[in-house]
C-alpha cells in the first residue's frame, strides 16, 4: 500500500515536523509540498535538517497542486484551511493541523478567533473514548491543539472515572515558542526569551480555552470550568502541563493511580511513569509519547496530574500521522515511535 501525501504549508514548524516523521513512514510517498510566500524556494532554505527533501521545490498552495493526492495535510495559519478544504474531493483524506475545524460551537469560534466558523470535523485524539472508531471511518480530521492534548491526557482517566467533576480545573503550562509558528514576532526573539519566563493569554484569553472545556465535556464533565495559564519559556520544543481539580469524593493516591493504570494500559503513546517520577519535556523530545504522572494533594483535596509532550510531535504532527494511519486502516503506530532524544 503506497499513499501519496501532499503538505500545504510545508515550510512552517508543523510542516517540517510532518516531513521529518513521514520520511520514516513505510507506506507514504511524499508528493506536493506547497507554501505561499515560500513558493519557488528549495525546501532546504527553510528546513536544512530535512536532507531527504533538500532539493524539493516549494510549489504554490493551489487546488490544482493539491488535487490527486490520497492525503492532504493542511499546516496553515488559522482561518486558511476552511476555504481550501471545501474545494478538495470528499474522497481525499484531509487532515487539518490548524484550529479551523476543532470547535463544535460557532459562537466560541467567533469569540476567540474573530472570523466565521468553517464547521466541525471529527476530532483527532484517538485516546478519547470511542474516537478510534470515528477516525477509522472519516475523510476529514481536525488535529487537536497542543495545550488541549496535554491537558486532556493529563486529566482523562480522572474525569472518566468520576474522580473529579471537571469543575474548578486549574492548568498552568510552560511551553516552547515553536507553538506560535515561524513568523517573526518581537516577543519570540531570543533577546526577549532567553533567561525569562512569561505568562500570556492570562484570564481565559488563550484560544485553546474552549477546546479544553469541550474535551472535558466529551469525557463526561457536565459543566467544566477551567482556569488556564500558558507560560512561554526559553526552550525549542515541549509543554509541561500541571493540572489540578477538586476530588469528587475522598480518594487516595493509590486509587487515583489505579484508574490511570487501567485507562492507559493499552495506549501506545501515553506513558504513566513509575510512582515518584515526574514528567519532563526533555524525555518526550522528538517522540510521539505523552508522559503522565498523578497524585493527590490531601491537604487541598485536589487531584494533581502532570503531563509532558513535544508540542510539534504528539502535540501536532505526530498526532496528525496517528490519525492518518487510523483513517487509512494502517496500524496506528506506523511511522511513529515513543522514544525521546536525550540529553
Answer yes or no: do 123 and 194 share one domain: no
Answer yes or no: do 183 and 75 share one domain: no
Answer yes or no: do 123 and 219 share one domain: no
Answer yes or no: do 295 and 164 share one domain: yes
Query: How many C-beta atoms surround the C-beta of residue 298 within 10 A?
Result: 12
Answer yes or no: do 46 and 172 share one domain: no
Query: Cell numbers at residue 153, please?
Result: 491526557
Q: Give the range of the structural domain holding residue 218, as residue numbers without chain letter.
A: 147-309
The confidence score (pLDDT) of residue 249 equals: 94
Answer yes or no: do 291 and 254 share one domain: yes
- The CATH number of the domain holding residue 31 is 3.40.50.720
Kindly provide the b/e burial profile for residues 116-139, where b requires at least 16 CB atoms within 10 angstroms of the residue's own CB.
Answer: ebbbbbbbbbbbbeebeebbbebb
If one counts the domains in the chain, the total is: 2
Answer yes or no: do 297 and 162 share one domain: yes
- Whole-angstrom distance, CA of residue 9 vs CA of residue 35: 5
Q: Is 333 inside any structural domain? A: no
Q: Is 50 inside any structural domain? A: yes
Q: Is 146 a catalytic residue?
A: yes
Q: Is 340 inside any structural domain? A: no
Give the predicted TM-score (pTM) of the model. 0.96
Q: Is 336 inside any structural domain? A: no
Q: Is 337 inside any structural domain? A: no
Q: What is the mean pLDDT of each successive set of 10 residues along the chain, which is 343 residues long?
A: 95 97 97 94 96 95 96 95 94 97 96 94 98 98 98 98 96 90 72 86 94 97 96 95 97 96 98 97 97 97 98 98 98 96 86
Asked whether 147 and 241 are in contact (CB, 8 A), the reply is yes
- The CATH number of the domain holding residue 265 is 3.30.360.10
The confidence score (pLDDT) of residue 184 equals: 65
Answer yes or no: do 154 and 184 share one domain: yes
Q: Is 338 inside any structural domain? A: no
Answer yes or no: do 137 and 152 share one domain: no
Q: Is 151 inside any structural domain? A: yes
Answer yes or no: do 254 and 223 share one domain: yes
Answer yes or no: do 153 and 263 share one domain: yes
The confidence score (pLDDT) of residue 185 equals: 73
Answer yes or no: do 301 and 323 share one domain: no
The confidence score (pLDDT) of residue 321 equals: 98
Asked whether 275 and 257 are in contact (CB, 8 A), the reply is yes
Query: How many C-beta atoms surround the C-beta of residue 40 within 10 A?
Result: 10
Q: Is 334 inside any structural domain? A: no
In the set 146, 243, 290, 323, the catalytic residue is: 146
Amino acid at each position: 500500500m503506497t499513499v501519496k501525501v501532499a503538505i500545504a504549508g510545508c515550510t512552517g514548524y508543523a510542516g517540517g515536523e510532518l516531513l521529518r516523521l513521514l520520511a520514516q513512514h513505510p507506506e507514504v510517498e511524499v508528493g506536493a509540498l506547497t507554501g505561499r510566500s515560500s513558493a519557488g524556494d528549495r525546501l532546504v532554505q527553510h528546513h536544512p535538517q530535512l536532507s531527504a527533501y533538500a532539493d524539493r521545490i516549494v510549489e504554490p498552495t493551489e487546488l490544482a497542486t493539491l488535487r490527486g493526492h490520497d492525503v492532504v495535510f493542511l499546516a496553515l495559519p488559522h482561518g486558511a484551511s476552511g476555504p481550501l478544504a471545501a474545494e478538495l474531493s470528499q474522497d481525499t483524506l484531509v487532515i487539518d493541523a490548524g484550529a479551523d475545524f476543532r470547535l463544535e460551537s460557532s459562537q466560541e469560534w467567533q469569540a476567540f478567533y474573530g472570523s466565521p466558523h468553517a464547521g466541525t470535523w471529527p476530532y483527532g485524539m484517538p485516546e478519547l473514548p470511542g474516537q478510534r472508531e470515528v477516525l477509522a471511518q472519516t475523510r476529514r480530521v481536525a488535529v487537536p491543539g497542543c495545550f488541549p492534548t496535554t491537558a486532556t491526557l493529563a486529566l482523562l482517566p480522572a474525569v472518566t472515572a468520576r474522580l473529579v467533576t471537571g469543575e474548578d480545573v486549574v492548568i498552568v503550562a510552560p511551553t516552547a515558542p515553536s507553538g506560535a509558528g515561524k513568523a517573526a514576532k518581537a516577543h519570540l526573539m531570543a533577546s526577549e526569551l532567553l533567561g525569562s519566563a512569561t505568562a500570556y493569554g492570562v484570564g481565559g484569553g488563550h484560544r485553546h480555552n474552549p477546546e479544553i472545556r469541550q474535551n472535558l465535556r466529551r469525557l463526561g464533565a457536565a459543566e467544566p470550568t477551567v482556569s488556564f495559564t500558558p507560560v512561554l519559556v526559553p526552550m525549542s520544543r515541549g509543554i509541561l502541563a500541571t493540572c489540578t481539580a477538586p476530588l469528587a469524593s475522598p480518594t487516595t493516591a493509590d486509587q487515583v493511580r489505579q484508574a490511570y493504570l487501567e485507562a492507559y494500559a493499552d495506549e501506545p503513546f501515553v506513558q504513566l511513569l513509575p510512582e515518584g517520577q515526574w514528567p519532563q519535556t526533555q524525555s518526550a523530545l522528538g517522540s510521539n509519547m505523552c508522559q503522565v504522572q498523578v497524585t493527590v494533594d490531601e491537604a487541598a483535596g485536589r487531584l494533581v496530574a502532570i503531563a509532558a509532550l513535544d508540542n510539534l510531535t504528539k502535540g501536532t504532527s505526530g498526532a496528525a500521522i496517528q490519525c492518518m494511519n487510523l483513517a487509512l486502516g494502517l496500524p496506528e503506530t506506523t511511522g511513529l515511535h515513543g522514544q525521546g532524544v536525550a540529553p
